């Protein structure tokens, strides 16, 4: 098979990036395949090129609407018209029209929840699906057992598609997570292609600060000096908004915020402005990033501590996709771990919520759903495991309740352990890169010039020599227009 010829003709590249060829050949040889490729190395090319070589349709299960839209648009720019995303961006009439013409599309992007929609599932089952792609497959283990339980059904639903070849793609998955992926998707004999999670061009730094005020002042000083564009991650939607406005007030005028609470039009606008350099600093929650294919992000700063080393790696992996020197900085204050621990503690339902909601859905009407104050995540969690145990012959409320509580406790403890693991990395001694890769059973195999702060990395290496803000803080709107419209 002349894959290089296909690569050149379809994508314009003369060589494969790390791991791409091995993964494509594995799929074309009929193997279910799990591929862990570094962030930014072109995982989507694996299913696209393989898909062109295969008869039938390619179904890509993707976790985020923004990620789907970005990938669809990129494929259309490359000349592929037989691509569509089935998601909530579509109006009822648009979805109905697409479903009537579904056989005309080669590449179909879809969320796990949309796959389970009975009307859409019926349409999918009549297609000849030759490749079943699970993009960002770590979400099976990371999100499936908690707030997106439809991830747990992807293996079972594959049978309705006549058992197509599975390609599971991820950038960060420990051996435990890869095992979980294989179990959930029922691909126990899958070929695994696991490459290093290390990105040598991303320098790793942790800066300890005294308190929240000190953290804000450090953030301002650092962001003003760093080469841009960059992303600042927060665990709080409110603080992402407030910090964005504050940074603008301090002269960083090309700053905006992004989080899942914004409407779709706002989110798309911010993404496009960032992609096309109208904005150069984004204050965001973890909702921002998976759908952003921007190669020249020069820094990623974490204002708050992520809940796991995997989340941290996913987010810093959005920097330096062009291979150029970039910075990953985490601002840490003692007891910062209390926020992620609190998030984990409150994420899943309490004993009372589990017991009373089960009574409600199993016929006891003494409580109302509103009175239980369940979040969408908590409700989905209980519903999924209620159905799971009912389908396995358990009908007793007390028994189901205790089983769900046990699962809740297991998930909560697991997530707390991940937070402690990450905290030990933040506060520990020694080379940060060596300790990071060791968590994925790797070792640092080379001397890296801009490794980490333990190895001598400094901010000066990442400072900008020019002002990258759109306007100067003290100029009038007339002067700003002159700068934009009049020749120098």
- Sole residue written with tokens 């793609």: 169
Task: Identify the domain boundary among 147, 165, 194.
Answer: 194
Instruction: With respect to residue 252, please indicate whether it lies within any of the assigned structural domains.
Output: yes
**168/35 same-domain check:** yes
What phi, psi does 302 have (nearest 5°)? -105, 110
Over residues 177-195, the pLDDT tens digits come to 899 999 999 999 999 999 8
Q: Helices 43-53 and 3-11 sit at what angle, rounded to 10 degrees?
A: 110
Contacts by residues 436-440 (CB-CB < 8 Å, ≥ 24 positions apart): 436/197, 436/198, 436/204, 436/309, 436/313, 437/196, 437/197, 437/198, 439/174, 439/309, 440/172, 440/174, 440/197
- Residue 220 pLDDT greater than 90, yes or no: yes
Tokens for 485, please give them.
């419209």
**33/174 same-domain check:** yes
Percentage helix, strand, coil, to 5, in the chain? Answer: 50, 15, 40
Alpha-carbon distance 286 to 313, whole Å? Answer: 12
CATH number, domain containing residue 175: 3.40.50.300
Asked whether 422 and 316 are in contact (CB, 8 A), the reply is no
Query: What pLDDT band is residue 484 in, cutting at 50, 70 and 90?
Result: very low
**pLDDT of res. 479:** 55
Rounded (5°) CA angle 452-299-213: 90
**92/230 same-domain check:** no
- Per-residue pLDDT averaged across 422-430, rounded? 95
Alpha-carbon distance 425 to 439, whole Å? Answer: 10
Instruction: With respect to residue 227, please indicate whether it lies within any of the assigned structural domains.
Output: yes
Over residues 76-123, the pLDDT tens digits come to 888 899 999 987 777 888 888 999 999 999 999 999 989 998 999 999
- Residue 487 pLDDT greater than 60, yes or no: no
Number of domains, the chain: 3
Q: Which domain holds residue 314?
A: 202-335
**436/386 same-domain check:** yes
- Mean per-residue pLDDT over the chain, rounded: 89
**221/187 same-domain check:** no
Over residues 306-339, the pLDDT tens digits come to 999 999 998 999 999 888 999 999 999 999 999 9
**171/210 same-domain check:** no
Query: What pLDDT band is residue 147 in, cutting at 50, 70 and 90?
Result: confident
Instruction: With respect to residue 468, please indicate whether it lies within any of the assigned structural domains.
Output: no
- Residue 390 pLDDT greater than 80, yes or no: yes
**111/211 same-domain check:** no
**185/214 same-domain check:** no
Instruction: With respect to residue 427, please indicate whether it lies within any of the assigned structural domains.
Output: yes
**pLDDT of res. 456:** 93
**331/345 same-domain check:** no
Q: State the pTM of this model.
A: 0.85
Q: Which of 34-38, 404-408, 484-488 has the largest mean confidence? A: 404-408
**pLDDT of res. 371:** 83
């Amino acid at each position: 098979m002349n894959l290089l010829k296909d690569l050149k003709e379809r994508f314009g590249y003369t060589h494969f990036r790390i791991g791409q060829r091995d993964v494509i050949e594995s799929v074309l040889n009929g193997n279910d395949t799990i591929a862990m490729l570094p962030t930014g190395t072109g995982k989507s090319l694996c299913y696209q090129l393989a898909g062109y070589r295969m008869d039938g349709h390619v179904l890509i299960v993707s976790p985020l609407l923004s990620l789907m839209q970005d990938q669809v648009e990129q494929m259309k720019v490359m000349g592929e018209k037989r691509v569509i995303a089935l998601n909530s961006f579509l109006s009822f009439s648009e979805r109905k029209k697409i479903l009537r013409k579904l056989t005309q599309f080669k590449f179909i992007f879809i969320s796990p929840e949309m796959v389970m929609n009975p009307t859409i599932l019926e349409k999918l089952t009549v297609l000849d699906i030759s490749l079943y792609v699970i993009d960002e497959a770590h979400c099976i283990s990371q999100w499936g057992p908690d707030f997106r339980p439809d991830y747990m059904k992807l293996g079972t639903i594959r049978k309705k598609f006549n058992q197509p070849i599975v390609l599971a793609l991820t950038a960060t998955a420990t051996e435990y997570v890869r095992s979980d992926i294989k179990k959930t998707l029922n691909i126990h004999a899958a070929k695994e292609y696991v490459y290093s999670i290390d990105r040598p061009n991303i320098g790793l730094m942790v800066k300890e600060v005294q308190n929240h005020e000190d953290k804000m002042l450090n953030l301002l000083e650092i962001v003003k000096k760093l080469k841009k564009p960059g992303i600042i991650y927060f665990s709080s939607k409110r603080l992402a908004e407030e910090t964005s406005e504050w940074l603008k007030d301090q002269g960083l005028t090309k700053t905006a915020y992004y989080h899942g609470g914004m409407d779709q039009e706002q989110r798309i606008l911010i993404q496009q402005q960032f992609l096309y350099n109208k904005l150069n600093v984004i204050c965001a929650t973890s909702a921002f990033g998976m759908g952003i294919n921007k190669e020249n992000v020069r820094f990623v700063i974490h204002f708050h501590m992520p809940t796991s080393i995997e989340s941290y790696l996913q987010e810093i992996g959005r920097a330096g996709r062009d291979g150029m020197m970039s910075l990953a900085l985490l601002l840490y204050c003692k007891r910062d771990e209390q926020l992620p621990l609190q998030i984990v503690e409150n994420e899943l339902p309490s004993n009372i919520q589990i017991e009373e909601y089960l009574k409600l859905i199993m016929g006891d009407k003494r409580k109302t759903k509103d009175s239980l104050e369940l979040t969408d995540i908590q409700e989905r969690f209980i519903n999924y495991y209620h159905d799971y145990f009912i389908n396995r012959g358990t009908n007793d409320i007390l028994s189901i309740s205790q089983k769900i509580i046990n699962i809740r406790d297991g998930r909560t403890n697991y997530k707390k352990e991940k937070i402690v693991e990450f905290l030990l990395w933040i506060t520990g001694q020694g080379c940060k890169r060596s300790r990071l890769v060791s968590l994925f059973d790797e070792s640092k195999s080379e001397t890296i010039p801009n490794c980490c702060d333990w190895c001598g990395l400094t901010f000066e290496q990442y400072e900008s020599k020019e002002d990258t803000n759109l306007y100067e803080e003290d100029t009038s709107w007339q002067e700003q227009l002159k700068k934009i419209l009049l020749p120098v």
